[in-house]
Structure 1
Amino acid sequence: MHHGAVWNGKLARWDHLRNLYEEDSRRLPRAAPKLTRKHVYLPAFGEMRVHTATQTLSASVYAAFTMYIREGTLPQEFDATAMYCRDFNNLFDVFNASKNARHQQKEFLQPLNADCSHWNCLEKMESKLRELRFIDNKCNSLDEEDNFKALPKCSRYPWFINGWLLCISSLECLFKDLTSHFNFSEISPRSLNQDGLENFFGLIRMKNANNNRPDCTLFRSAYRGAVVNQLLSSRAKGNCEADTGLVQCERFSKNKFENR
């Protein structure tokens, strides 16, 4: 979002996030404690991290925007960026909904069923994503858009928009199929992501050092070593959140060895 984003008919800007950080970092306690300088002043060749995006476009950042706007510290026009953060935070929550989150108060982290509010959220997000476009960051308002050279199509309508639209459509189709043919009453989209698989292969790469093309023997050895040494656990600095699939895999392997 280094360019300005036209979101729901308003202009959301990256500079708004920087201004929020500069204001919030001077206060104690902070309204958005997870928002750091690294989030808003991205290094030129920094690593791509999913959690960096989720911490930036989060409910706490939206709440901080709302608080500072209401007290008059930040101008009212920053509300567009606040809405941008809130909407994407809700979208992240819908696709991370899980039965394990029942104890949490976040509405969109609960499993999806036929009568839940998630579908209304997805319908609104689909409409907003289809209208989303990016413009030159020098534009201070939509009235100035014609004064600047239009961005290339790949930057104006980036690929991630189609990716989100595909995910929303796929989730709706999957829910209809599971409920109509397999008697599912609810689904947990978090169980559909590949975090568990990514964490697992990350551990296998660690066991094989610099060998990026292990054969079957090396893969089997690395897998056994990871299980025996209880290394099937997520890392604090990993790109994915912790998952329970690897724990179940470890327990299964331990029971298999003990029963021999």
Structure 2
Amino acid sequence: MKEIIQQIVEAVGSTGLLPVALCCDQGTAFQAVLKSFQEETRRHQILSGDRTDEAIEISGHKLNIIFDPPHLIKGIRNNFLTKNIKFGEEISKWSDIVDVYKMDCNTIGDTKLLPKLNDEHVMLGKIKKMKVKNCVRVLSHKVAQALNFAANFSHDVHGNKVSQTLKNTASTILLFDKLFDSVNGASTSHKYHKGKNLRKAVTATSEHHTFWQDAIKKLNEMKFVDLRGRESSVPSIKNWIVTIKSLQRLWQFFNQKNVKIMRPRYFNTDPIENFFGQVRAYNFRNNDPDCYTFANTFKTLLITGFIKFHNPTFNCEDDEAAPLLKLKNLFEKISGGASKRF
């Protein structure tokens, strides 16, 4: 895999494009390869007297590591299901979410605080762990609001005492809601995400810079605590920190290049996952193509795929990317600023 990544970076660089980031999931194979690249880069930085950081260098290109945010947020949720989150002396519990969800289920009519939640979002044995939307609907601003509202009462409708950690859990949920927003912004307009200032593109005056610094401090102090009371820092927390620092360095890089807007939404693995979704969907449903089939499907999609599509069943959002080349480019000739057809 290390050799393949190196070849890809060299191939991209040879086109005149400048690779600046490497997006990946948290798989063990990727982690091992990244560790090898980081050790080589750190050795080179020390010998050169340069400042060390989490970035890697491949064939003269400095690449900032960005772990796919949907994978990161699912990693946090999956650990939270069976462990408490400890921040300082404050404890957050998944059971708080379950309690408030159950209370909300007893609400009659249209007055529910959490109408979009169901058992597949909250209940341990029923959660669809691969669905990103199920994860972010729980770790959301609305759920944090519901927990804070419930914390104002001493007992629920059945006379049971309300958990004393509701406000802590609400704060933790709100942190990850904002964190996920901050790495998913693309628009510069307020009208698309009212009240969600971090769900926008990064600019010199945007709130991202202050929030990211604060988030790094909180994540460094955050621990997961299992049922036996043992504390641990799970990989997803460490990789969130790596991703935030990478975005900070990328902003500095773009700013130096006089690029005034950075859209974090485009730093993820959605494009490749959408492509794999098209491969699997091709010729009815081919979930496990061999190399020969994959190569032929790739060639077909290279032509027909100029008409890009996104299936709602894909486990990622439409990447909204436009191809550099379009099919009509093959049949048009640019001459004197005018387009002439053959």
- Normalized per residue, which structure has more helix? 1
* Residue 166 of structure 1: how far off its partner (Å): 0.3
Cα separation, partners in 2 of 1:78 and 1:223, compared to 1, 3 Å: same
User: TM-score, normalised on structure 1?
Assistant: 0.82
Asked if 1:99 is matched to 2:163, the reply is no
Q: Which residue of 2 aligns with 1:211?
A: 289
Cα deviation for residue 99 of structure 1 reads: 1.7
Match of 1:131 among 215, 221, 229: 221
Give the corresponding residue for 1:90.
178
In structure 1, list runs of 5 or more residues that go unmatched. Answer: 138-147
2:96–2:165 CA contact under 8 A, matched in 1: no
Q: CA deviation at 1:34?
A: 2.4
Cα distance in 1 between the residues matched to 2:172 and 2:214: 13
Cα distance change on mapping 1:18 and 1:101 into 2, 3 Å: farther
Match of 1:51 among 133, 137, 140: 133
- Of the structure 1 ranges 22-31 and 70-79, higher mean CA displacement relative to structure 2 is found in 70-79
Q: Which blocks of at least 5 consecutive residues in structure 2 are unaligned?
A: 1-79, 157-161, 333-341
- Give the Cα separation in 2 of the matches to 1:237 and 1:101: 28
Report the Cα offset of residue 48 of structure 1: 2.0
1:224-253: CA deviations, max 9, x gaps?
A: 3444xx5x33222321112211xx33x953
The two structures have a TM-score, normalised by structure 2, of 0.63
Do the aligned partners of 2:277 and 2:314 also contact (CA within 8 Å) in 1? Answer: no
Percent identity between the two aligned chains? 23
**Equivalent-residue separation in structure 1 for 2:117 and 2:87 (angstroms):** 22
Q: For this pair of structures, how many residues does the alignment match?
A: 239
Q: Deviations over 1:136-176 (max 9, x none)?
A: 34xxxxxxxxxx4526xxxx211111110100110111101
The residue that corresponds to 2:249 in the other structure is: 173
- Following TM superposition, the consecutive aligned residue runs of length 4 or more in structure 1 with deviations greater than 6 angstroms are none
Residues 177 and 226 of structure 1, relative CA distance in 2, 3 Å threshold:
closer
RMSD: 2.5
SS in structure 2 at match of 1:112: coil
Question: Hey, what's the Cα distance between the residues in 2 that align with 1:212 and 1:20?
Answer: 47
The equivalent of 1:122 in structure 2 is 212
Q: Residue type matched to 2:206 in 1? A: C
| C-alpha deviation, 1:192, in angstroms | 1.7
Report if aligned partners of 1:94, 1:108 keep a CA contact under 8 Å in 2: yes
Return 127-136 or 62-71, whichever deviates more.
Answer: 62-71
Paired residue for 1:25?
Answer: 105
Select which of 111, 120, 129 maps to 1:38: 120
* Partner-residue secondary structure (3-state), 2:198: helix
Structure 2 residue 327 is matched with structure 1 residue 240: no
**Counterparts of 1:99 and 1:46 in 2: how far apart (Å)?**
30
Q: Which amino acid aligns with 1:129?
A: L
Kept in 2: contact 1:101–1:109 (CA 8 A):
no
Between the aligned partners of 1:220 and 1:82, the Cα distance in structure 2 is: 49
Distance 1:5 1:149 in 2: 11
Question: Which position in structure 2 is the counterpart of 1:160?
Answer: 236
